[in-house]
């Protein structure tokens, strides 16, 4: 994009060659990149806001533990679940959290394959976000099964009952999709961390930190042979994570689309779920990145360029999601099935119609502001927009799940759904867990990949024509 | 474990990637084979310069993935057809399109794990001790901002005096003898 005339021509944030915002502010060296990032972790002075944030998130997390303990004692009856709405907050939250996780994989894997180097500074904490979101998501099916201590029955294993799982069910596909996703995300993240942990080990001053980073860095010493294998493995993992992330939300959408319920039984579900997942995930990355860059003064590494690019990705995926809603409407009309037709009417104008309009406002109407360049370049406004989109995506799952279930074929079996305080306690509690884990992450591990940021610096290139030197012999 | 005695190699330190690549290429061209470069970020030119062109991580990944695919698909078939046949809405017992999905996930799972752990194994990691960590300037530079070339003592061309003068020709910041 060309520079707009209202921007100063000699703005140091702009690259003079292309007129675009720089990915990294000028003036960084290998040493200063290392110091800026590792200092956040290695400093003995934890900032005050960290304690404040961690305490707040931790106390919300305690609420989660209380709610889950009570759930285990009393059973799922303490939730608002009933017939006909047998899938409530637990599944809504599961889909919402796992969708958030998908942006981390997108940034770390798909953008790596497309050689989008701007991703380098945000990839690490986006991957961490993925892992913590998957932890929150994975909790819901486990606590939802009613007898969580028998959760291992989901897996095929030889048992004295001689019973095996039913491999034609999307719910079992989900077990493999989500467990694979969690494992590969953790491995990808950890492999990416290893060289940086070597840097942490070498920069740590305290004995404890040296031992800690020394052990978890696995003895990384930066041999170019190791680097080449490491690069191959990263590319392979990225290449594998890309179809994986697409398949995970596709399989989750099969949980719905394979059922014959009006509002669920459509072929648009897989692409529309995947786009929605990336949409909400980028919103969550922005929700995390904007406060972090301000609080830790990382504006030189997470630049306006990153925020601008992420807004563009949100705009594009948001439009795919809008297409999905449009196609829902179209199929309700084109199917000529009055069950489908009624479902859509009920979704929009029934007793829970307000949720549909909240979703349209948050996911389609307001995000159109992202077309404005001035809006995208303002971190404060983008932060508020990211919260709105997160809320909108939660409502999307609410609308899909609850409004399809509570009034299906037979009016005699209609009902309603009302979440109880325990539903809310678990939902808000997972946000506390997510935030607390994230605070721990930014305090203990380098939140940006130092080695990848070094590659972005101009001095990292081997000069095309190195001056000839006399060999020693 | 018996401690090894003697010199591991000569370690030359450079400030820029360009100088390292020139030195590494000259060393490789004059017959050195047991040598390695150490850089704070992946430097493909340096790997090319010391004749490291390909690695076997993709092969390990492929084998792992095929094994994951086969294991899951065969297990599903065995469970659904032989061990616990269930009639689900009259579908055939061998419903391979449904089995393809968990098999696909396991292909990715096992190829990913093979790529990651195969890479570590081929690199000989984890290795918490390495003689290079004894060099005083290695730990402050190799993972931060310096570029190192190490000529190893087990190369037949190695000689403390001659190899040092060979390295000095490239004007490194320093040359250190690394002990085991």
- Cross-chain Cβ contact A240/B132 below 8 Å: no
Question: Mind telling me how many Å the CA of A429 is from chain B's nearest CA?
Answer: 30
Q: Specify the pLDDT at position A467.
A: 46
- Interval A109-119 mean pLDDT: 80
Enumerate residues 6+ apart whose C-beta is below 8 A from B38: A221, A222, A223, A224, B132, B138, B142, B147, B148, B149, B150
Confidence category of residue B112, pLDDT binned at 50, 70, 90: very high
Asked whether B103 and B56 are in contact (CB, 8 A), the reply is no
Domain membership of residue B64 (yes or no) is yes
Lookup result for tokens 């860095």: A217
Q: Are residues B99 and B66 in the same domain?
A: yes
Domain membership of residue B2 (yes or no) is no
Q: Specify the pLDDT at position A89.
A: 87
Asked whether A305 and A379 are in contact (CB, 8 A), the reply is no
Cα–Cα distance between A423 and A428 in angstroms, integer? 9
Is it the case that residue B3 has pLDDT exceeding 80? Answer: no
Q: Specify the pLDDT at position A12.
A: 63
- Cross-chain Cβ contact A164/B79 below 8 Å: yes
CA gyration radius for chain B? 25
Domain membership of residue B43 (yes or no) is yes
| Helix, strand, coil share of chain A (percent; to 5) | 70, 0, 30
Enumerate residues 6+ apart whose C-beta is below 8 A from B59: none
Is it the case that residue B133 has pLDDT exceeding 90? Answer: no
Asked whether A434 and A131 are in contact (CB, 8 A), the reply is no
Cα–Cα distance between A138 and A124 in angstroms, integer? 21
Q: Specify the pLDDT at position A441.
A: 92
Give helix A89-105 / helix A421-444 axis angle, nearest 10°.
20
- pLDDT, mean over chain A: 86
CA atoms within 13 A on the CB side of A189: 25
Q: Specify the pLDDT at position A473.
A: 39
DSSP string, B13-28: EESSHHHHHHHHHHHH
Question: Mind telling me how many Å the CA of A139 is from chain B's nearest CA?
Answer: 20
- Interval A194-207 mean pLDDT: 88
**Of A105, A223, A246, A471, which to mutate for an interface test with B (greatest number of B Cβ within 10 Å)?**
A223
Q: Which domains does chain A have, with CATH numbers?
A: 30-154+165-458 (1.20.1630.10)
Enumerate residues 6+ apart whose C-beta is below 8 A from A116: none
Q: Are residues B68 and B113 in the same domain?
A: yes
CA atoms within 13 A on the CB side of A244: 34
Q: Specify the pLDDT at position B161.
A: 82
**Of A238, A472, A473, which to mutate for an interface test with B (greatest number of B Cβ within 10 Å)?**
A472
DSSP-assigned letter for residue B157? T
Q: Are residues B47 and B75 in the same domain?
A: no
Q: Specify the pLDDT at position A135.
A: 92
Helix (H) or strand (E) holding B10: strand B7-14
Enumerate residues 6+ apart whose C-beta is below 8 A from A148: A72, A142
- Interval A302-318 mean pLDDT: 89
Enumerate residues 6+ apart whose C-beta is below 8 A from A166: A172, B80, B86, B88
Confidence category of residue A469, pLDDT binned at 50, 70, 90: low
Is it the case that residue A316 has pLDDT exceeding 60? Answer: yes
Is it the case that residue B2 has pLDDT exceeding 60? Answer: no
Find chain B residues with C-beta within 8 A of A470's C-beta. Answer: 169
Find chain A residues with C-beta within 8 A of B50's C-beta. Answer: 224-225
Q: Are residues B39 and B78 in the same domain?
A: no
Asked whether A343 and A404 are in contact (CB, 8 A), the reply is yes
Structure tokens at B81: 């057809």
- Interval B142-157 mean pLDDT: 85
Asked whether A362 and A391 are in contact (CB, 8 A), the reply is yes
Q: Specify the pLDDT at position A465.
A: 45
- Interval A73-85 mean pLDDT: 86
Asked whether A250 and A276 are in contact (CB, 8 A), the reply is no
Question: Mind telling me how many Å the CA of A103 is from chain B's nearest CA?
Answer: 19
Q: Are residues B39 and B70 in the same domain?
A: no
Confidence category of residue A30, pLDDT binned at 50, 70, 90: confident
Q: Picking from A51-60, A363-372, A445-454, which range would have the lowest pLDDT averaged per residue?
A: A445-454
CA atoms within 13 A on the CB side of B114: 20
Neighbours of A444 (CB within 10 A): 13
DSSP-assigned letter for residue A151? G
Domain membership of residue B1 (yes or no) is no
Q: Are residues B73 and B89 in the same domain?
A: yes
- Interval A215-227 mean pLDDT: 89
Share of chain A above pLDDT 70, in %: 94
Range of the domain at B70: 57-123
Say how many Å lie between the first and final Cα of chain A, rounded.
53
Q: Which of A287, A286, A330 is nearest to A311 (CA)?
A: A286
Q: Are residues B62 and B103 in the same domain?
A: yes
Structure tokens at A383: 């932060």
Cα–Cα distance between A183 and A236 in angstroms, integer? 15
Question: Mind telling me how many Å the CA of A75 is from chain B's nearest CA?
Answer: 29
Q: Are residues B14 and B29 in the same domain?
A: yes
Domain membership of residue B41 (yes or no) is yes
Better pLDDT: A372 or A32: A372
Burial B44-66 (b: 16+ CB within 10 A, else e): ebbbbbbebeebebbebbeebbe
Asked whether A141 and A169 are in contact (CB, 8 A), the reply is no
Q: Are residues B65 and B113 in the same domain?
A: yes
Q: Specify the pLDDT at position A361.
A: 93
Is it the case that residue A130 has pLDDT exceeding 70? Answer: yes
CB contact A37 to B (< 8 Å): no
Q: Are residues B101 and B136 in the same domain?
A: no
Helix (H) or strand (E) holding B12: strand B7-14
Cα–Cα distance between A277 and A257 in angstroms, integer? 16
Asked whether A93 and A426 are in contact (CB, 8 A), the reply is yes
Q: Specify the pLDDT at position B63.
A: 95
Of the residues B76, B100, B123, the one at which a domain ends: B123
Enumerate residues 6+ apart whose C-beta is below 8 A from A124: A189, A192, A193, A196, A446, A447, A448, A449
Q: Among the residues of A145-223, which ranges form H helices?
A: 170-203, 207-216
Number of domains in chain B: 2
Confidence category of residue A119, pLDDT binned at 50, 70, 90: confident
CA gyration radius for chain A? 24
Q: Are residues B72 and B40 in the same domain?
A: no
Asked whether A154 and A164 are in contact (CB, 8 A), the reply is no
Of the residues B107, B123, B139, the one at which a domain ends: B123
Q: Specify the pLDDT at position A17.
A: 64
Q: Are residues B50 and B89 in the same domain?
A: no
DSSP-assigned letter for residue A168? T
Better pLDDT: B99 or A9: B99
Domain membership of residue B47 (yes or no) is yes
- Cross-chain Cβ contact B47/A227 below 8 Å: yes
Confidence category of residue A381, pLDDT binned at 50, 70, 90: very high
Share of chain B above pLDDT 70, in %: 98
Q: Specify the pLDDT at position B1.
A: 45
Of the residues B94, B123, B152, the one at which a domain ends: B123
Structure tokens at B67: 């094994």
The overall longest dimension of chain B from CA atoms, in Å, is 82
Q: Specify the pLDDT at position A431.
A: 93
Question: Mind telling me how many Å the CA of B83 is from chain A's nearest CA?
Answer: 8
Asked whether B40 and A456 are in contact (CB, 8 A), the reply is no
Asked whether A199 and A38 are in contact (CB, 8 A), the reply is yes
Interface of A with B in 139-198 (CB under 8 A): 156, 162-168, 172-173, 176-177, 180, 183-184, 187-188, 190-191, 194-195, 198
Distances (CA, A) of B43 to A428, B11, B18, B39: 46, 18, 10, 7
Confidence category of residue B152, pLDDT binned at 50, 70, 90: confident
CB contact A225 to B (< 8 Å): yes
Q: Which of A415, A115, A184 is nearest to B65 (CA)?
A: A184
pLDDT digits (tens, 9 = 90+) for A402-411: 888 888 888 8
């Amino acid at each position: 994009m060309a520079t707009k005339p209202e921007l100063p021509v000699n703005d140091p944030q702009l690259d003079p060659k292309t007129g675009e915002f720089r990915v990294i502010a000028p003036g960084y060296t290998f040493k200063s990149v290392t110091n800026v990032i590792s200092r956040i972790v290695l400093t003995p002075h934890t900032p005050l806001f960290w304690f404040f944030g961690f305490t707040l998130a931790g106390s919300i997390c305690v609420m989660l533990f209380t709610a889950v303990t009570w759930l285990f004692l009393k059973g799922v009856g303490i939730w608002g679940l009933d017939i006909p709405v047998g899938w409530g907050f637990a599944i809504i939250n599961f889909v919402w959290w796992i969708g958030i996780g998908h942006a981390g994989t997108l940034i770390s894997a798909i953008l790596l394959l497309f050689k989008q180097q701007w991703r380098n500074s945000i990839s690490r904490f986006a991957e961490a976000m993925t892992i913590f979101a998957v932890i929150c998501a994975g909790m819901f099916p486990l606590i939802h099964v009613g007898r969580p201590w028998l959760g291992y029955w989901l897996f095929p294993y030889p048992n004295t009952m001689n019973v095996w799982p039913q491999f034609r069910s999307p719910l079992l596909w989900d077990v493999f999709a989500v467990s694979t996703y969690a494992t590969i995300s953790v491995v990808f993240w950890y492999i990416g961390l290893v060289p940086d942990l070597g840097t942490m080990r070498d920069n740590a001053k305290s004995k404890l930190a040296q031992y800690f980073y020394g052990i978890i860095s696995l003895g990384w010493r930066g041999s170019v042979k190791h680097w080449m294998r490491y690069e191959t493995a990263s590319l392979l993992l990225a290449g594998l994570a890309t179809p994986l992330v697409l398949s995970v939300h596709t399989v989750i959408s099969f949980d719905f689309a394979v059922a014959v319920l009006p509002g669920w039984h459509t072929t648009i579900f897989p692409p529309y779920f995947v786009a929605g997942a990336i949409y909400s995930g980028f919103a969550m990355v922005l929700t995390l990145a904007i406060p972090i860059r301000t609080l830790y003064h990382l504006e030189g590494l997470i630049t306006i360029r990153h925020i601008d690019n992420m807004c563009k990705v949100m705009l594009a995926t948001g439009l795919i999601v809008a297409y999905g809603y449009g196609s829902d409407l179209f199929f309700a009309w084109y199917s000529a099935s009055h069950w489908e037709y009624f479902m859509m009417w009920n979704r929009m104008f029934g007793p829970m119609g307000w949720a549909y309009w909240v979703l349209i406002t948050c996911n389609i109407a307001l995000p159109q502001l992202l077309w404005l360049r001035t809006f995208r370049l303002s971190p404060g406004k983008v932060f508020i927009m990211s919260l709105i989109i997160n809320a909108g995506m939660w409502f999307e799952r609410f609308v899909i799940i609850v409004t399809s279930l509570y009034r299906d074929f037979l009016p005699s079996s209609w009902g309603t759904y009302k979440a109880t305080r325990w539903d809310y306690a678990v939902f808000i509690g997972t946000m506390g867990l997510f935030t607390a884990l994230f605070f721990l992450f930014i305090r203990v591990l380098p939140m940006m990949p130092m080695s990848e940021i070094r590659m972005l610096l101009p001095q990292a290139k081997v000069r095309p024509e190195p001056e000839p030197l006399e060999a020693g012999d | 474990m018996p401690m090894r005695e003697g010199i591991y190699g000569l370690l030359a330190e450079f400030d820029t990637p360009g100088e390292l690549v020139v030195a590494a290429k000259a060393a490789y061209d004059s017959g050195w084979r047991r040598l390695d470069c150490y850089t704070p970020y992946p430097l493909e030119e340096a790997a090319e310069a010391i004749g490291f062109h390909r690695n076997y991580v993709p092969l390990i990944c492929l084998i792992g993935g095929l094994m994951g695919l086969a294991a899951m698909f065969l297990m599903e078939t065995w469970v659904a057809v032989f061990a616990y046949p269930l009639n689900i809405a009259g579908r055939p017992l061998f419903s391979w399109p449904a089995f393809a999905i968990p098999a696909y996930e396991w292909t990715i799972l096992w190829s990913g794990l093979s790529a990651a752990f195969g890479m570590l194994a081929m690199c000989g990691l984890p290795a918490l001790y390495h003689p290079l960590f004894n060099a005083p300037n290695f730990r402050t530079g190799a993972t931060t901002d310096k570029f190192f070339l190490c000529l190893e003592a087990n190369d037949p061309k190695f000689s403390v005096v001659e190899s040092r003068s060979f390295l000095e020709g490239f004007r490194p910041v320093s040359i250190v003898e690394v002990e085991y």
